[in-house]
Amino acid sequence: MTKIIGLTGGIGSGKTTIARLFEGEGIPVYIADDEAKKIMLNPITVEKVRKEFGDKIIQNNQIDRKALSEIVFNNPEQLKRLNSIVHPLVKKHFDDWVTQNSNHPFVVKEAAILFESGSYKYCDKVITVTASEETRIDRVVKRDNVKREEVLQRIKNQISEQERIERSDFVIYNESLDLAKEQFLQILKILKKKQ
């Protein structure tokens, strides 16, 4: 039975870097955000979202992500409505993906909102990637070319690092790639032993 390892972390924590390390070891990695974006392009999804939020969020038969994010970004109720459409579709896609990769002892699901979405419940183990708030802000400002205040707002909208850490089986402190790699290899060794 293929085990599912959840990989999560707040914005700028470097979870994608850790996901790439898993891929480098030949372990299949499912990037939930990327798959959700693809699912949002599906005409069936577009229609469901249009029915829920109206024509104002549709542009050229596609979801206008900017218009939609303006509706849901600071409105937990609207975000819940959107998630109730998207999460079941991502879950089904992920389940199919796990079946396709069932020849592997374990696979990794990388998701920013692993705890918030409830998908941690389907994971055998959870790894959180974290870094100091300053490091995370710095990374996102450089990566996304956004203002510090914007990053702080996004951090505020996520669950706290403390809660994420407390709910995880493993934690990778990602202040530098070398240290993160070391921790990754130790965790990998433990995961391989448990097969």
Q: Torsion angle of alpha carbons 83, 84, 90, 91, nearest 10°?
A: 130
Q: What is the DSSP string of 43-92?
A: HHHHHHHHHHH-GGGEETTEE-HHHHHHHHTT-HHHHHHHHHHHHHHHHH
- 135 annotated ligand-binding residue: no
What is the Cα–Cα distance from 192 to 60, expressed in whole angstroms? 48
Burial group, residue 100, by CB count within 10 angstroms (0-12, 13-18, 19+): exposed
- 176 annotated ligand-binding residue: no
According to DSSP, residue 119 is labeled: G
3-state SS, residue 21:
helix
Q: Which two tokens stand for residue 166?
A: 């407390």
- 45 annotated ligand-binding residue: no
Q: Which two tokens stand for residue 9?
A: 């972390």
- 118 annotated ligand-binding residue: no
What is the Cα–Cα distance from 64 to 84, expressed in whole angstroms? 18
- 69 annotated ligand-binding residue: no
Q: Which two tokens stand for residue 111?
A: 């998701």
Per the annotation, binding residues are 12-17
Per the annotation, binding residues for ATP are 12-17
